[in-house]
Structures are given as C-alpha cells and as structure tokens.
Amino acid sequence: MASLAAVAVKGFAAAKTAYTAIGGARTVATAGQFMSSLNRGSQIRKQKYQEAEAYRDASMRRMAATTREAAEERRKKERMHSRAIAVSAASGAGVDDPSVVAALGDLNAEGEYRVLSTLWSGQDAAAGLQFRSEAARREADTALDIGFMGGVNSAFATYNAFGGASKIVPSPTAVSPQGNPYSPSVNPPKKKLWGT
C-alpha cells in the first residue's frame, strides 16, 4: 500500500510540473464546455422522455374514456330500441308490422352509427397523442447526440480561442467562370468544356 501511495505522489508531482498555466486553463475550459453541452443534452433527453411518457398516458386515458363513451352510446341505442318496441306495442301495432320494423331498423342503424363514430373520434385523438409521444421519444434519442456534437463543437472553439491550432489546412478555393467553387490544387478547371 505504501508503494502505491508513493507512486501516486510521484505521478502527481510529475503531472504538476508538466502542467502549464495556459495549457491547464485551455484544458479545463475545453472540458468544461464539453461537459456543459453534454449535460444540457442529457437534461433535454430526460425532459423529452417524460413528455413522451405523458403523451402515452394521455393516449391511454383518451382510449379508456372513448370506450366508456361508446358503451354509453350503445346503452342509449338499446334503450331507444326498447322504448320504440314498447310504444309500438302500446299503440296496438305488432313488432312484425313493416312500418315498425323499418323504424326499429333506422333506430338501430343510427345508434350503431353513433357508437362507431364515438369510437372513431376517440381512436383518432388517441392516435394523435401516440404520434406526439413517438415524436417526443425520437427527440429524446436525438438530444443526447446533439449535446455530444455541441460539446465537441464548443470544445474545439474553446481550444482554438486559447490559441490552439487545428492541423487541417483548408485548400484554396476559386470560382469557375460558371460560378461554381472548385479547388485549383485538387481539380484544375478544364480548358475545353463540352467539346468546345
């Protein structure tokens, strides 16, 4: 154990002597910018996952409410049908009378239409909420990547602001007579264009 501590102290002393003031500030600032951007992406990701979960829950609640509303419409349909049979029986008409059969058929069709339209509108609303949930989930998956790329970008910007230089030397660019940019060192312009 003592030898491990001695090695650690010697390593720390060597690192401290190699650590220059401007290099240390550049490293700390670069790391700070990177971590800040990565943390921001992580927070946005967490927020978007919560938003997606809320939309998913709202979609499920909308479908539950739609199911209850459709059941209520079905109960109303059956009640109207039963009432129509009772009224026709009280008037002396039989249930098998053609006018009563036609009226009962129309009442059943209208009731079923109301049930199905209630279900459709609820499913449509729930599908919209589910779509928003999926969109928020995709945004959450992308947020961390965006935070990472922002961190890399700000780290390079901070590094260059402290005097760091990138090794990439841009090639000179020029504009052709047609207005297109090109690099004279890589692809010099052609003397003859299209056989002229």
Please give the Cα distance from 66 to 72 (Å, whole number).
Answer: 10
pLDDT greater than 50 at residue 3: no
Q: Is residue 181 part of a domain?
A: no
pLDDT greater than 80 at residue 125: yes
Q: Is residue 186 part of a domain?
A: no
Q: Is residue 5 part of a domain?
A: no
Q: Is residue 136 part of a domain?
A: yes
Total count of domains within the chain? 1
pLDDT greater than 60 at residue 7: no
pLDDT greater than 50 at residue 166: yes
Mean pLDDT for 98-108 is 83
Residue 1, pLDDT score = 41
- The residue with tokens 């829950």 is 57
Please give the Cα distance from 16 to 19 (Å, whole number).
Answer: 5
The larger pLDDT score, comparing residue 166 to residue 109, is at 109
Helix or strand (DSSP H, E) at 51: helix 21-91
Helix or strand (DSSP H, E) at 107: helix 98-161
Domain that holds residue 130: 20-158
pLDDT confidence of 11, banded at 50, 70, 90?
A: very low
Q: Is residue 119 part of a domain?
A: yes
Identify the DSSP state of 94: -
- The residue with tokens 């990439």 is 168
Q: Is residue 14 part of a domain?
A: no
Long-range pairs of 29-32 with CB within 8 A, sequence gap ≥ 24: 29/158, 29/162, 30/155, 30/158, 30/159, 30/162, 31/155
Q: Is residue 76 part of a domain?
A: yes
Please give the Cα distance from 23 to 16 (Å, whole number).
Answer: 12
State the pTM of this model.
Answer: 0.57
- The dihedral over CA atoms of 188, 192, 194, 196, expressed in degrees to the nearest 10, equals 160
pLDDT digits (tens, 9 = 90+) for 167-182: 555 555 666 677 666 6
Identify the DSSP state of 182: E
Radius of gyration of the chain (CA): 37
* Entry field: residues in the chain: 196
Q: Is residue 9 part of a domain?
A: no
Residue 156, pLDDT score = 74
Residue 2, pLDDT score = 41
Please give the Cα distance from 94 to 114 (Å, whole number).
Answer: 27
CB 126 within 8 A of CB 66: yes
Mean pLDDT for 71-76 is 92
Please give the Cα distance from 97 to 89 (Å, whole number).
Answer: 11
The larger pLDDT score, comparing residue 175 to residue 116, is at 116
